[in-house]
Structure 1
Amino acid sequence: MKPIRRILLTNDDGVDAPGLAAAERIAAAVAEEVWVVAPMTDQSGVGQGISMHHPLRVTEYGTRRYALTGTPADCVMVAMADWLRDDPPDLVLSGVNWGANLSDSVMYSGTAGAVLAADHLGLPAIALSQAFHDRSALDFSATEAFAVDAIRRLWDARDDTESCCWNLNFPMSAPDAIQGLRFTRQSTGTIVAPRLIAGTDGRGLVYHWLSFDRDTTTIDDPLSDVVALRDGYVSATPLHGSRCDEALLERGADRGVWRLDISERAE
């Protein structure tokens, strides 16, 4: 195995989340040194967002362990601007998220946002997420059983000339029931529509919670992340930070430069 000297660990569920404790055990099993820089509070759903409208405050929780009043992407950026600026980590881990980050949810995931932020800085990164059937029944046994081997294999298979940014999702199954790891693509179409849940506060003012109507039953591509978990496999999806649609770019480039008509301007 290629040695992993130093890991930077973050998450989006917050510094006190049980999944972070699981990730610290996993990181300690594969690296000589682990740095934790995690959000102070739950940052689920913030994607790759960074804080531009309020200052960031840091609290030290122990040796190489810090909490930040910011997003997961902030945690990566601050760590690389401060403590690890002159000696960067070999690998960034994000998680373990309590809940799968699959399909359309990946674009909103703070867990995935952290590894994409790392990828932008040229750092290899892996996101870890544990699917559940019951939110209240915490169980990271599947992730803890297989994450170390998965991380080591992805690390050993890495070509030093290419990006290494992976989104790993672990099924909610007994470890001995998991079939293995399947390489997958990010599926689409599981978010059917946004939904607002209305309420009234103590002053009689209306507020809304944003939610989504979801349906995974229509996803049947055997190479999709959703189907891998459904079939009892760990899903490993490669991610990259570019949002450019290369096929559309190629079609546009074939059309050449468009000269725009100033007479079509809005009045």
Structure 2
Amino acid sequence: MHILLSNDDGYLAEGLVALAGALRPYADISVVAPDRNRSAASNSLTLEMPLRAHVADNGFIKVDGTPTDCVHLAITGLLEPEPDMVFAGINHGANLGDDVLYSGTVAAATEGRFLGLPAVAISLACNEEPQHFETAAEVAVVLLKRLVDRPLPRDTLLNVNVPDVAPEDIQGYRATRLGQRHKSEPVIKQRDPRGRSIYWIGPPGAEQDAGPGTDFHAVSMGFVSITPLQLDLTWYDRINMVRNWLSGEVCA
């Protein structure tokens, strides 16, 4: 088996190194990752300039692009043979609820799935500095073995969040749905040394929909959260409503 690893924290990130070390005994590993931190890059592709890929001193391939660029490049021509699966992470921080819309880690896994490969995004749900990458690495091994022994459909995309605790303190695994946050905090307005206004994106909103069954709740209780994601964003229950709206009828 040939597994492609990528991330959004950059090719030198501790979580990526831990993931590669944990999975290497079980598969051929190729690492293609951004040359710097590209957190919150989402599913962006670089189209207006060429991409450059170089083998770094640690043996990983670094690319001057986004996480999506890295996976796209790796699968569509850079790597031979083509990978069989994509693991993205281990992200330095959680990707819970609405975070998946912005996450470069989830985007890397999404690109793998979009290109036809099973994919897993794995994140360490830490509040400050991450402490227990070894826990998330062990979880990755467990999931890999399960995927090999009991394959899921090839269109499977798993978003995994691991509590930042020692391995022995993990309470188990839970299949979850995405929770939801309150809207983001306001931007932080400052002035640069020349007196011009500058803005920092504010922190994400607090948990809103975070009850039992959500990824937020599972992680808060010490469980590994595993959420299956789909790429089809169509809201099928609303198609008839929009059809009626277009035809001039009253919408229910």
Aligned mate of 1:179, from 171, 174, 196:
171
Match for residue 61 of structure 1 among 51, 56, 66: 56
Contact map agreement 2:119 2:157 (CA 8 A) in 1: yes
| 1:117 Cα deviation from its structure 2 partner | 0.9
Q: Which residue of 1 aligns with 2:226?
A: 236
Q: Is the 8 A contact 1:182 1:228 kept in 2?
A: yes
Is contact 1:50-1:73 (8 Å) kept? yes
Shift of 1:141: 2.7
C-alpha displacement at 1:29, in angstroms?
3.1
Q: Deviations over 1:235-262 (max 9, x none)?
A: 0011122221122125546x49738xxx
Deviation at 1:172, TM superposition (A): 1.5
* Normalised TM-score (structure 2): 0.90
Determine what percentage of the aligned residue pairs are the same residue.
Answer: 33
Query: Quick one: structure 1 residues 252 and 198, their matched pair in 2 at CA, closer, same or farther if it must change by over 3 Å?
Result: closer
Q: 1:219 to 1:63 in 2, by over 3 A?
A: closer
What is the DSSP-based 3-state SS (H/G/I as helix, E as strand, rest coil) of the residue aligned with 1:51? coil
Deviation at 1:205, TM superposition (A): 2.1
2:152 is equivalent to residue 156 of structure 1: no
State how many pairs are aligned. 249
Aligned to 2:194: 203
Cα distance between partner residues in 1 of 2:9 and 2:26 = 22
Per the normalisation by structure 1, the TM-score is: 0.85
Return the alpha-carbon distance in structure 1 between the equivalents of residues 184 and 62 of structure 2. 34
Q: Contact 1:185 / 1:225 at 8 angstroms: preserved in 2?
A: yes
Give the 3 Å change call, closer, same or farther, for CA 63–179 of structure 1 in structure 2: closer
Alignment CA distance shift 1:163-1:214 (3 Å): same
The SS at the match of 1:114 is helix
SS in 1 for 2:247: coil
Q: Cα gap change, 1:195/1:257 in structure 2, threshold over 3 Å: closer, same or farther?
A: closer
Please list, as runs of the form range in 1=range in 2, the aligned pairs for 1:221-260 lying within 5 A after superposition: 221-249=211-239, 251-252=241-242, 255=244, 258=247
Instruction: Say whether residues 1:25 and 2:17 are aligned partners.
Output: no
Whole-angstrom CA distance in 1 between matches of 2:85 and 2:15: 18
1:75 equivalent in alignment to 2:70: yes
Gaps of 5+ in 2: none
Q: Assess if the C-alpha contact under 8 Å between 2:53 and 2:63 holds in 1.
A: yes
SS in structure 2 opposite 1:123? coil
- Partner residue in 2 for 1:265: none
Cα distance in 1 between the residues matched to 2:149 and 2:17: 25
Separation in 2 of the partners of 1:163 and 1:207? 42
**1:107 maps onto 2:109 in alignment:** no
Report the 3-state secondary structure (helix = DSSP H, G, I; strand = E; otherwise coil) of the residue aligned with 1:244.
coil
Identify if the C-alpha distance between structure 1 residues 18 and 220 changes in structure 2 by more than 3 Å, giving closer, same or farther: closer
Name the counterpart of 1:121. Answer: 115
Q: Greater Rg, structure 1 or structure 2?
A: 1
Report the Cα offset of residue 202 of structure 1.
2.9
Whether the aligned pair in 2 keeps the contact of 1:97 and 1:111 (CA below 8 Å) is: yes
- TM-superposed CA distance for 1:220, in Å, is 4.1
Unaligned stretches of 5+ residues in structure 1: 260-267
Contact 2:179 2:210 (8 Å CA) reproduced: no
Q: Note closer, same or farther for the CA distance 1:9–1:197 as it changes in structure 2 (3 Å cut).
A: same
Given that 1:7 and 1:91 are in contact with CA atoms closer than 8 Å, whether structure 2 keeps it comes out as yes
